[in-house]
Amino acid sequence: MKALKIKVCGITQFSQVQELAEAGVDYAGLIFYEKSPRFIANKISPDILKKYKRIIKVGVFVNEEIDNVLQISEAFGLDMVQLHGDESPEYCEILSTKLPVTKVFRVSGNENLNQLVFPYHQNVNHFLFDTKAKDYGGTGLKFDWSSLKEFDHPTPFFLSGGIGPGDIFLIKDIVNEGNADNFHAVDLNSKFETERGIKDIELLRKFIEDVKSL
């Protein structure tokens, strides 16, 4: 399989966007959900972020109106969007004509993932599997990753949900599974923070080195 990509989500400082790009992070996750403690509005200038091209900028939205998603994406120069709510396949299809779309599925690990994603498979570019919880992401909790062993859909996926510095061997196990060719990226957030929205860059650097060596 191809080398795993790295996404760091919940960034709230432009200086950290730059540092993460320099450290080899592929995707910067920027949260545009007002109820999130990592909500980015008023924390990073749209104009500054729009001009920055050294990392793929991913806007994270939850049940947002399509017109608002498009307006925000234009203002901040987003390269793709991640949909973390209850967005329908039809919603994803409309949005995917404008921007690459990643659809999030909040799971426990008991689900049949192939069946779960099927209604969306023609309308999105990536799937993302996160832990089912009361909050939308950033919970620091894992789902049962063993369910990924049965997932064989060709659409590439991001793995999220409580991934921490000590999980490199668990990630390696997934990489070594025969059907893991669609394992596209790991999505890192709360386990690599000094406080909400502020990333521990040195901790991330070490983990990035470990992932890139898989």
Write out pLDDT tens, residues 56-115.
Answer: 999 999 999 999 999 999 999 999 999 999 999 999 999 999 999 999 999 998 999 999
Residue with tokens 């060709």: 154
Q: How confident is the model at residue 149 (pLDDT cuts 50, 70, 90)?
A: confident
Walk me through the domains of the chain, giving residue ranges and CATH numbers. 5-212 (3.20.20.70)
Indicate the range of 154-158, 177-181, 205-209 predicted with least confidence.
Answer: 177-181
Q: What is the pLDDT of residue 134?
A: 67
Q: How confident is the model at residue 1 (pLDDT cuts 50, 70, 90)?
A: low
Residue 102 backbone phi and psi in degrees, to 5: -110, 125
Please give the angle made by the CA atoms of 198, 45 and 186, to the nearest 5 degrees: 45
b/e code 75-113 from CB counts within 10 Å (16+ = b)? ebbbbbbbbbeebeeebbeebbeebbbbbbbbbebebeb
**Residues with Cβ < 8 Å from 57, sequence gap 6 or more?**
17, 27, 28, 30, 49, 76, 77, 78, 79, 80
Q: What is the pLDDT of residue 35?
A: 93
Contact 196, 17 (CB under 8 A): no
Q: How crowded is the C-beta side of 75, counted as CA atoms within 13 Å?
A: 13
Q: H-type helices in 97-186, by residue range?
A: 113-117, 168-176
Residue with tokens 């991001």: 158
Q: What is the pLDDT of residue 91?
A: 98
Q: How far apart are CA 139 and CA 130, in angstroms?
A: 9
Q: What is the pLDDT of residue 5?
A: 96
